Amino acid sequence: MRNFRELNIWKEAVILVKEIYRLSNQLPEEEKYGLKSQICRAAVSIPSNIAEGASRNSEIEFKRFLE
């Protein structure tokens, strides 16, 4: 099993999540449970999928999580 925390793509995805959260705080308050929530969930799914894929036993399975 590969350590996803050592993958540059995972590190970049975490930076992206932090930036998305920072920028989303500038959205109007009425978007808190709409657009803001959706954007943040989508951003978090990127490093989450990388981590889950890294736990798989084969390269083919890992690549499927990166699609």
pLDDT digit string, tens, across residues 2-30: 899 999 999 999 999 999 999 999 999 99
Hey, what are 15's tokens? 């930076």
Place 38 in a pLDDT band, splitting at 50, 70 and 90: very high
User: Please, which residues have CB within 8 angstroms of residue 40's CB and are 6 or more apart in sequence?
Assistant: 17, 20, 21, 24
Q: Which amino acid type is present at position 60? A: I
pTM of structure? 0.87
Structural domains of the chain, with CATH: 4-66 (1.20.1440.60)
For residue 36, pLDDT over 90 is answered with yes
In which band, very low, low, confident or very high, does the pLDDT at 32 lie, cut at 50, 70 and 90?
confident
Question: Per residue, what are the HEC states of 4-52?
Answer: HHHCHHHHHHHHHHHHHHHHHCCCCHHHCCCHHHHHHHHHHHHHHHHHH
